[in-house]
């Protein structure tokens, strides 16, 4: 018999399991540190699941994650569930977690705002009836800016083809979940979505118009990773490298210059690959998804 450590997130209902950092270590908190146990300098680290389990049984907290790209949380031992199983699965003892700049929930919130902005444009240039048919509910203020005060949480994302496309983009961009779902046809559809995206109206702005929004960063990173892995003859722009390194563009340009790399005109793939390999937040493409490098 073996023991699985789980927790059901009270807000999302998702099952969380012990999280590994990029070094493959479980991160635990010693109750002896009291309110300071969550600080990294006080963390107890181990690569051994059995050791992590022993510490949890002794009252240590442990970082848990649903494995969907959301940041891990340090959960106290009393809130965990220990279940006896015949054999532990790969899900019960996760591999190291990928680093993501924001959660999937943040991305879906952005997508909802983008859909509201699109509905506002349809209402302005088409009709309120057409906007309602698109979004699924009417504007709350027919006399003012359409959908300016819309509650984006009311949107049923399952109605939209863009939802699985954006979810696949997130997994591919940050190598979480099922990145293999991002295929060439997804790339083409995503390009069409970007080309036809509206920035909304005066009072209903779309995250598509903000280059730093989770929605734009996800799409940009997905494009950059695809180019990095499958269009290796094409140089990568500083912006694309910044996406992959999870840096802002100015910081990426400065880091390139510090390494003696000129960003103007793009950086060839081989040089970009070496540079990214030294970046702390760069998440490599899973070996089974990336073409062999010659």
pLDDT per position as a tens digit, 164-185: 999 999 999 998 878 888 887 7
DSSP assignment, residue 136? S
In degrees and rounded to multiples of 5, residue 135 shows phi and psi of -85, -30
What's residue 142's pLDDT?
A: 57
Average pLDDT over residues 191-205: 69
What's residue 196's pLDDT?
A: 60
Confidence band (pLDDT; 50, 70, 90) for 67?
Answer: confident
DSSP secondary structure string, 108-173? Answer: HHHHHHHHHHHHHHHHHHT-HHHHHHHHSS--S-TTSSTTTT--GGG--GGG-THHHHHHHHHHHH
Average pLDDT over residues 50-62: 94
Confidence band (pLDDT; 50, 70, 90) for 189?
Answer: confident
Q: Give the bridge partners for 4, in sequence order.
A: 83
Rounded CA-CA distance 195/152 in Å is 23
Per-residue pLDDT tens digits for 148-161: 888 888 899 999 99
Confidence band (pLDDT; 50, 70, 90) for 223?
Answer: very high
What's residue 87's pLDDT?
A: 81
Average pLDDT over residues 116-143: 87
Rounded CA-CA distance 123/138 in Å is 10
The residue with tokens 């920035």 is 199
Mean of per-residue pLDDT scores for the chain: 87
Least confident piece of the model among 107-116, 189-198, 257-266 = 189-198
Rounded CA-CA distance 100/155 in Å is 25
What's residue 294's pLDDT?
A: 46
What's residue 240's pLDDT?
A: 97
Q: What percent of the chain is modeled with pLDDT above 70? A: 91
Is pLDDT larger for residue 91 or for residue 178? Answer: 178
Residue 239 scores a pLDDT above 90 = yes
Confidence band (pLDDT; 50, 70, 90) for 143?
Answer: low
pTM beyond 0.85: no
Pairing mode of beta strands 2-8, 26-29:
unpaired
Helix axes 184-196, 162-174, angle to 10 degrees: 110
Rounded CA-CA distance 169/107 in Å is 11
Side-chain half-sphere CA neighbours of 183 within 13 A: 3
The residue with tokens 């309110």 is 35
- Read off the tokens for 73: 């949380």
Average pLDDT over residues 280-292: 83
Length of the chain: 294
Average pLDDT over residues 6-12: 92
Helix axes 184-196, 214-230, angle to 10 degrees: 140
């Amino acid at each position: 018999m073996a023991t699985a450590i789980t927790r059901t997130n009270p807000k999302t209902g998702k099952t969380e399991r012990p999280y590994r950092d990029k070094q493959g270590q479980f991160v635990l908190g010693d109750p002896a540190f009291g309110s300071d146990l969550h600080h990294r300098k006080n963390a107890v680290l181990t690569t051994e699941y059995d050791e992590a389990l022993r510490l949890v049984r002794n009252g240590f907290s442990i970082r848990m994650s649903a494995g969907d790209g959301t940041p891990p949380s340090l959960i106290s031992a009393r809130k965990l569930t220990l279940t006896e199983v015949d054999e532990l699965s790969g899900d019960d003892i996760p591999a190291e977690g990928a680093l993501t700049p924001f959660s999937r929930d943040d991305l879906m919130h952005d997508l909802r705002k983008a859909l509201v902005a699109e509905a506002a444009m349809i209402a302005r240039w088409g009709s309120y009836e057409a906007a309602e048919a698109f979004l699924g509910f009417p504007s709350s203020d027919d006399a003012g800016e359409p959908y300016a005060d819309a509650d984006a949480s009311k949107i049923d994302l399952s109605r939209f083809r863009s939802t699985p496309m954006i979810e696949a983009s997130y997994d591919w961009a940050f190598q979480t979940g099922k990145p293999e779902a991002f295929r060439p046809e997804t790339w083409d559809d995503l390009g069409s979505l970007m080309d036809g995206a509206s920035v909304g109206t005066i009072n209903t702005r779309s995250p598509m118009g903000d280059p730093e929004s989770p929605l734009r960063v996800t799409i940009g990173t997905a494009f950059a990773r695809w180019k990095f892995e499958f269009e290796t003859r094409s140089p990568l722009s500083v912006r694309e490298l910044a996406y992959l390194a999870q840096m802002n563009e100015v910081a990426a340009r400065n880091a390139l210059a510090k390494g003696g790399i000129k960003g103007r005109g793009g950086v060839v793939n081989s040089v970009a690959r070496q540079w990214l390999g030294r970046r702390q937040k760069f998440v490599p493409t899973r070996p089974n998804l990336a073409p062999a490098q010659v």
